[in-house]
DNA sequence: GCCGTTTTCGGCCCGACTGTTTTCAGTCG
């Protein structure tokens, strides 16, 4: 059983216990355990079978035993018992905005309501107000919430790249204002999460009202509420924006608070309480002295708590607080640590720019090398690059490289299709002429896990393949990853010295942060690339770097932090095996 | 149910907002 599946069972059990009226801390304990299981970088099943599940923070004796029961029977008996007591739809009701376990339980007890549909009808027929604590307003808001999300499937999350485009525009506009002293994006956009629910902006100003007024005047917003301390707005395409403005003395406290994540802040405060410190957006209250320490910078917030500064990308309660206390945070990958980009396209396949145009843009970005990796013969959309066309393409790339001088290297590469049986659609003789080969899957996504894994491992083991492009094929919020046994994939990549890509296309970010962290733990070396289809999207490598940072990846884990003459020998299986 | 520089019991993050209340429980981020 995968970690995610085990975690889902404990999340469900937490929901059911909560409906059953268990004390809140017990419910929280189950949720914490579920999160620890989900985030664990190794197989929890293996850990549990070795009797070591309690090594996970938040898993004690009781939950460790329940994991073993779950692995034996495939179900948790406690959950089964509670599912006889409550209709399955009742948990769905707790997800409706404004509803939680207490209110869901109340409508079930009083009116026998156990599904969203039954709740909707009761609200329409004005029967909800018969329940103590519910009134006409409650009926209205239930109907509004159900109308906004009829089947409970709306996730309402927006891709990071869209959110950052809007958020950065707002920040830039506010920064221009004379009253503005500091302004930053906060929230999940600052943490570079895959998707965001809204945009949080934090500012410090000499004249707070004036800055709020400037925010109200931005043409891209419909402002829904405003005061001296901030404003709330919605962009014309429906993205909610929150602005908070404080005096500069507490800017650090507010930025830290609103950057989150929720679990990071909760854990931060829990640990602080043990030292007699209470953290909020207004400062750090010291029990002993009775004073509140206001922090102008985030650095100060963390320092007051005995921690080193935690980069926003790590603030997910995945071990960063313990590492920050021990001063052992990773030396995270940075965009400027990358010397080259090893995945991009030109008009030879489905790109928008010439070889010359891409090379010039890469140089402009300060890179030392760029691999041109157009799609191979059987790609099936855009232009196909036949073997003869590839030979001419290689010659052209070499000629352009010659013309560029010694401080920049243009590499002749290809993004070669992996066919359903794991073979490649150029023959070895042609592949040998290339400097750099990425193998990617672009078709036949629906094979079984066994077939898909065999296919991938065969590509990884091909001696002329340097890297696997977007290894799981997922598209954020749109397409699930291929069915793959990633433990096998990572083992094969580590053994053969084939690199796995962290693709920077903001729709892909593949490997994901979770999988990239597992990959480096398994000894895999990564490449972080833009997969640019035009000069402007070379900047997408920033999303790849953000993904890698969220995976605790350091420069040493990434092949293209090296010069090309250092990287080149790394990718030969014999020498890699010797290094390992 | 978990956990320990207040260790094996007694706590468990912090503050804002909302709607239904007459002092606050429940929900949210």
Task: Flag whether A414 is in a domain.
Answer: yes
In a domain, A236, yes or no: yes
pLDDT score of A165: 95
Instruction: Tell me: do A164 and A280 sit in the same domain.
Output: no
Q: Do A276 and A374 fall within a single domain?
A: no
Q: How many CB atoms lie within 10 A of CB A62?
A: 12
Interval A377-416: pLDDT, tens? 776 655 678 999 999 999 999 999 999 989 999 999 999 9
CA distances (Å), A234 to each of A139, A221, A237, A413, A460, in order?
25, 6, 8, 45, 47
Query: Whose structure tokens read 């395409």?
Result: A237
Q: Verify if strand B has an atom below 7 Å from the CB of A499.
A: no
CB A234: neighbour CB atoms within 10 A? 14
Rounded to 5°, the CA angle A237-A242-A246 comes to 155
Q: Which nucleotide does the CA of A94 lie closest to, via C1'?
A: B27
Task: Note the CA–C1' distance, A30 to B1, in angstroms.
Answer: 7
CATH number at residue A215: 3.30.460.10
Using DSSP bridges, classify how beta strands A340-341 and A499-503 pair: parallel, antiparallel or unpaired.
unpaired
Residue with CA nearest to B24's C1' atom: A133
**Closest Cα to residue A246, out of A307, A176, A297?**
A297
CA A559 to C1' B8 (Å) is 50
Q: How far apart are CA A395 and CA A391, in angstroms?
A: 6
Do A300 and A360 share a domain, yes or no? no
Q: What is the pLDDT of residue A382?
A: 59
Q: At what angle do helices A355-364 and A387-403 cross, to 10 degrees?
A: 40
Dihedral class, residue A71 (left if φ above 0, else alpha if ψ from -120 to 50, else beta): alpha
CB A104 within 7 Å, strand B? yes
Q: Which of residues 244-263 of A touch strand B (CB under 7 A)?
A: 262
pLDDT band for position A251 (cuts 50, 70, 90): very high
Say how far apart CA A426 and CA A119 lie, in whole Å.
59
Domain membership of residue A575 (yes or no) is: yes
Same domain, yes or no, for A164 and A132? Answer: no
CA of A569 to C1' of B26 (A): 62
Answer for A29: CB within 7 Å of strand B.
Answer: yes
> pLDDT tens, A1-30?
999 999 999 999 999 999 999 999 999 999
Confirm whether A251 is domain-assigned: no
pLDDT over threshold 60, residue A573: no
Residue A152 has pLDDT above 70, yes or no: yes
Give the C-alpha separation, A121 to A361, whole Å: 59
Distance measured from the CA of protein residue A561 to the C1' of nucleotide B9, in angstroms = 52
- Within 7 Å: CB of A411 and strand B? no
User: Virtual CA dihedral for A377, A378, A379, A382, nearest 10 degrees?
Assistant: 70
How far: A492 CA to B6 C1' (Å)? 50
For residues A302 and A370, state if they share a domain: no
For A184-227, how does the pLDDT look when each residue is reduced to its tens digit (9 = 90+)? 999 999 999 999 999 999 999 999 999 999 999 998 888 988 88
Q: Lowest-pLDDT range, A36-45, A60-69, A117-126, A261-270? A: A36-45
Report percent pLDDT > 70 for chain A.
97
Query: Rounded to whole angstroms, how far apart are CA atoms A473 and A439?
Result: 12
Q: In total, how many domains does chain A have?
A: 4
Instruction: State the CATH number of the domain containing residue A477.
Output: 3.20.20.140
Whether residue A28 is found in the same domain as residue A123: yes
Tell me the nt nearest to A98, Cα to C1'.
Answer: B27
Segments forming the whole domain that contains residue A536: 335-579
Q: Which nucleotides in chain B lie closer than 7 A to a protein CB?
A: 1-3, 5-6, 11-15, 18-21, 25-29
Domain containing A285 — which CATH number?
3.30.210.10
- Regarding whether A134 and A203 lie in a shared domain, the answer is no
Report the run of H or E that residue A121 belongs to, with start and end.
helix A116-124
Identify the residue with better confidence: A70 or A149.
A70
Nucleic strand B within 7 A of Cβ A136: yes
């Amino acid at each position: 059983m995968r970690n995610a599946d085990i975690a889902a069972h404990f999340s469900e059990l937490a929901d059911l216990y909560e409906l059953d009226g268990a004390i809140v801390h017990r419910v929280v304990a189950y949720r914490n355990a579920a999160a620890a299981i989900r985030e664990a970088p190794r197989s929890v099943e293996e850990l549990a079978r070795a009797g070591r599940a309690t090594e996970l923070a938040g898993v004690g004796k009781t939950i460790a035993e329940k994991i073993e029961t779950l692995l034996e029977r495939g179900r948790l008996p406690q959950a089964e018992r509670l599912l006889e007591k409550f209709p399955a739809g009742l948990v769905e009701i707790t997800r409706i905005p404004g509803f939680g376990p207490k209110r869901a339980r109340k409508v079930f007890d009083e009116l026998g309501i156990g599904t969203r549909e039954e709740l909707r009808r009761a609200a329409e027929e004005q029967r909800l107000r018969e329940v103590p604590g519910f009134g006409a307003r409650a009926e209205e808001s239930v109907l509004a919430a159900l109308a906004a999300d009829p089947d409970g499937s709306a996730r309402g999350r927006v891709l990071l790249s869209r959110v950052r485009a809007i958020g950065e525009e707002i920040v830039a506009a506010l920064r221009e204002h004379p009253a503005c002293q500091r302004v930053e994006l906060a929230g999940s956009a600052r943490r570079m999460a895959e998707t965001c629910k809204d945009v949080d902006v934090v500012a410090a100003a000499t004249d707070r009202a004036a800055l709020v007024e400037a925010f109200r005047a931005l043409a891209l917003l419909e402002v829904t509420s405003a005061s001296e301390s901030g404003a709330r707005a919605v962009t014309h395409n429906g993205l909610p924006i929150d602005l908070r403005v404080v005096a500069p003395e507490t800017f650090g406290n507010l930025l830290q608070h609103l950057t989150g994540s929720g679990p990071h802040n909760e854990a931060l405060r829990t640990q602080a309480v043990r030292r007699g410190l209470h953290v909020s957006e207004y400062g750090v209250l010291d029990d002993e002295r009775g004073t509140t320490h206001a922090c102008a910078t985030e650095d100060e917030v963390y320092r007051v708590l005995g921690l080193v500064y935690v980069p926003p990308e790590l603030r997910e309660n995945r071990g960063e607080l313990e590492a920050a206390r021990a001063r052992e945070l990773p030396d995270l990958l940075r965009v400027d640590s990358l010397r080259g980009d090893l995945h991009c396209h030109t008009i030879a396949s489905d790109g928008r720019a010439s070889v010359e145009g891409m090379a010039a843009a890469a140089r402009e970005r300060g890179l030392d090398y760029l691999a041109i990796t157009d799609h191979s013969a059987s790609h099936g959309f855009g232009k196909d690059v036949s073997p003869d066309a590839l030979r001419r393409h290689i010659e052209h790339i070499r000629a352009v490289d010659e013309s560029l001088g010694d401080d920049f290297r243009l590499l002749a590469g290809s993004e070669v299709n992996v066919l359903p049986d794991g073979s490649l659609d150029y023959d070895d003789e042609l592949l040998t002429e290339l400097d750099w080969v990425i193998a990617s899957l672009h078709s036949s996504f629906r094979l079984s896990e066994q077939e898909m894994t065999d296919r991938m491992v065969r590509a990884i083991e091909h001696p002329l393949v340097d890297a696997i492009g977007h290894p799981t094929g997922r598209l954020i919020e749109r397409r699930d990853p291929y069915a793959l046994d990633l433990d096998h994939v990572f083992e094969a990549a580590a053994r053969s010295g084939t690199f796995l890509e962290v693709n920077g296309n903001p729709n892909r970010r593949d490997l994901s942060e979770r999988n990239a962290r597992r990959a480096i733990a398994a000894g895999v070396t990564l490449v972080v690339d833009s997969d640019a289809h035009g000069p402007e999207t070379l900047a997408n490598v920033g999303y790849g770097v953000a993904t890698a940072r969220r995976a605790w990846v350091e420069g040493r884990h990434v092949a293209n932090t090296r010069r090309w003459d250092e990287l080149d020998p790394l990718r030969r299986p014999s020498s890699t095996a010797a290094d390992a």
